[in-house]
Structure 1
Amino acid sequence: MIIYLVILYLLFINIYTFALMGFDKKSAKKQRRRVPEKRLFLLSAIGGAGGTWLAMKKWRHKTKHRSFTVGIPFLFVLNILLILGAAKLIGMTINS
């Protein structure tokens, strides 16, 4: 049960960050109000780094910002490690 909730959460947060990056790119082109970088990093840190990273590649957005080109891949790896660690921990408690 919990695994399905985690999967749904990760799908949602990554789709949301992907869409938010697209929105920010469109806003940048039209010189409109932008999404704060802090928000993009926070969403990436809580599981949405994959969506952010894909959006960076797709729309070539934030690719000149070193904080993004280094920070987002780092957060992606951290997200993966945390997910694997949590899965292992959950597996241990279920099997015990």
Structure 2
Amino acid sequence: MIRYVVLWCLALSLADFLFMGLDKRRARRGEWRVPEKWFFLLALLGGAPGAILGMYAFRHKTRHWYFKFGLPAILLLQAGACVWLALRAR
């Protein structure tokens, strides 16, 4: 079970990371952008690490306070939930 959860989070993290890069590229070209809600949706579903890595790797969305503080907050909440579930399962 844990293996599937880890694979799920890795897949969503990769997707969020790639969306950050894609959105940065499109922003520079003045093209259609990825809606911000997609970054947060993927982060809430388990892709927060990829969103944070992509944000700083591509230097994208780092000036928006809701990304700068919101994505790490989501990650901390998810980590706390994982610890709580792990302790409860004992």
What's the TM-score, normalizing by structure 1? 0.86
Identity %: 38
Q: By how many angstroms is 1:58 displaced?
A: 0.6
CA distance in 1, matches of 2:19, 2:77: 21
Unmatched 5+ residue regions in structure 2? none
Deviation, 1:78, is: 1.1
Unaligned runs of 5+ in 1: none
Matched, 1:65 2:56: no
Task: Name the counterpart of 1:28.
Answer: 27
- How many aligned positions are there? 90
Poorly superposed stretches of 4+, deviation over 4 Å: none
Report what 2:43 is aligned to.
44
Equivalence for 2:74:
75
Q: What root-mean-square deviation, in Å, do the aligned CA atoms of Structure 1 and Structure 2 show? A: 1.1
Determine the structure 2 residue equivalent to 1:54.
53
